[in-house]
Amino acid sequence: MTVERIFDELGHFKRFQACLYFAAVFQAISCGIHYLASVFLVDTPNFLCSVPGNITDVLYYNLTGHSVEDILPVFKSGTGPLVVQTAEGDQWELSRCRFALRINPEAFSYDFVGNKTVKPCDGNFIYDHTEVQQSIVTDWDLVCEKEWLAKLCQPTFMLGVLIGALVFGDIADRFGRVRILMFTSLCQFGLGVAVAFSGNYYFFVGLRFLLAMVSSGYLVVVFVYVTEFTGNKVRTWTSMHVHAAFAVGIMVVALTGYLVRVWWIYQIILSICTSPFLLFCWKFPETPFYLMAKSRYKDTQTLMDMMARFNGLESRPKVDELLEQAERENGRALMERETEEQPLHSDKKLSILDLFCSWRMAARTCTVWAIWFIGSLGYYVFSLGSVSLGGNQYMNLFLAGAVEIPSYLIGCFAMDRIGRKNTCAPALLLAGVACMLIIVVPADIQVLAIFLSMIGKFAIAIAFGLIYLYTCELYPTIIRTLAVGSGSMMCRVGSIVAPFCVHLADVWVYLPQLIVGILAFIIGLLTLMLPETLGRPLTTTLEQAEGLGRKSSKKKDVLEMS
Residue 185 and residue 311 share a domain: yes
Q: Answer whether 27's CB lies under 8 Å from 281's CB.
A: yes
- Residue 532, pLDDT score: 81
**φ, ψ at 397 (rounded to 5°):** -65, -40
Domain range enclosing 229: 1-45+133-317
Element containing residue 117 per DSSP (H, E): strand 116-120
Q: 10 Å Cβ neighbour count for 338? A: 8
- Average pLDDT rounded to a whole number, residues 499-512: 90
Choose the final residue of a domain: 291, 317, 343.
317
**Coil, helix or strand for 224?**
helix
Residue 202 and residue 254 share a domain: yes
Provide the H-helix boundaries in 115-198. Answer: 136-140, 147-151, 153-175, 177-196
Residue 101 and residue 211 share a domain: no
- Average pLDDT rounded to a whole number, residues 376-392: 89
pTM for the whole thing? 0.85
Within 13 Å, how many C-alpha atoms sit on residue 267's CB side? 24
- Residue 272, pLDDT score: 94
Angle, to 10 degrees, between the axis of helix 242-259 and the axis of helix 201-228?
150
- Average pLDDT rounded to a whole number, residues 378-393: 89
Residue 100 and residue 139 share a domain: no
Beta partners for residue 119, in sequence order: 99
Output 334 or 86, whichever has higher pLDDT. 86
Residue 203 and residue 102 share a domain: no
DSSP secondary structure letter of residue 428: H
- 344 within domain boundaries: no
Task: Encode burial over 353-378: b for 16+ CB neighbours within 10 A, e otherwise.
Answer: ebbebeeebeebbebbbbbbbbbbbb
Is a pLDDT exceeding 90 seen at residue 252? yes
- Residue 87, pLDDT score: 87
- 413 within domain boundaries: yes
Residue 95 and residue 210 share a domain: no
What's the domain count of the chain? 3
- 501 within domain boundaries: yes
**Polymer length of the chain:** 562
CATH number reported for the structural domain that contains residue 453 in this entry: 1.20.1250.20
- The set of residues, in sequence order, having a beta carbon less than 8 Å from that of 90 and lying 6+ positions away, is 51, 53, 101, 102
- State the greatest distance between any 2 C-alpha atoms of the chain, in Å, as a whole number: 104
- Residue 348, pLDDT score: 54
**φ, ψ at 241 (rounded to 5°):** -85, 5
- 557 within domain boundaries: no
- Residue 250, pLDDT score: 94
Choose the final residue of a domain: 317, 336, 362.
317
Choose the final residue of a domain: 81, 113, 130.
130
Residue 26 and residue 52 share a domain: no
- The set of residues, in sequence order, having a beta carbon less than 8 Å from that of 356 and lying 6+ positions away, is 362, 365
- Residue 545, pLDDT score: 37
Residue 510 and residue 403 share a domain: yes
Residue 61 and residue 172 share a domain: no
Residue 242 and residue 265 share a domain: yes
Radius of gyration of the chain (CA): 28
Provide the H-helix boundaries in 339-420. Answer: 359-385, 393-402, 404-418
Question: Alpha-carbon distance 285 to 352, whole Å?
Answer: 34
104-138 confidence digits (pLDDT tens): 888 888 888 889 999 888 878 999 988 889 999 99
Question: Alpha-carbon distance 197 to 267, whole Å?
Answer: 9
Residue 365 and residue 305 share a domain: no
Beta partners for residue 339, in sequence order: none
- 479 within domain boundaries: yes
- Residue 36, pLDDT score: 93
Task: Encode burial over 114-125: b for 16+ CB neighbours within 10 A, e otherwise.
Answer: eebeeeebeeeb
Picking from 442, 472, 492, the residue whose alpha carbon sits closest to that of residue 541 is 472
Q: Answer whether 400's CB lies under 8 Å from 387's CB.
A: no
Element containing residue 466 per DSSP (H, E): helix 446-474
290-305 confidence digits (pLDDT tens): 888 777 888 888 888 8
Output 191 or 170, whichever has higher pLDDT. 191
**Coil, helix or strand for 57?**
strand
Question: Alpha-carbon distance 361 to 350, whole Å?
Answer: 15
DSSP secondary structure letter of residue 114: S
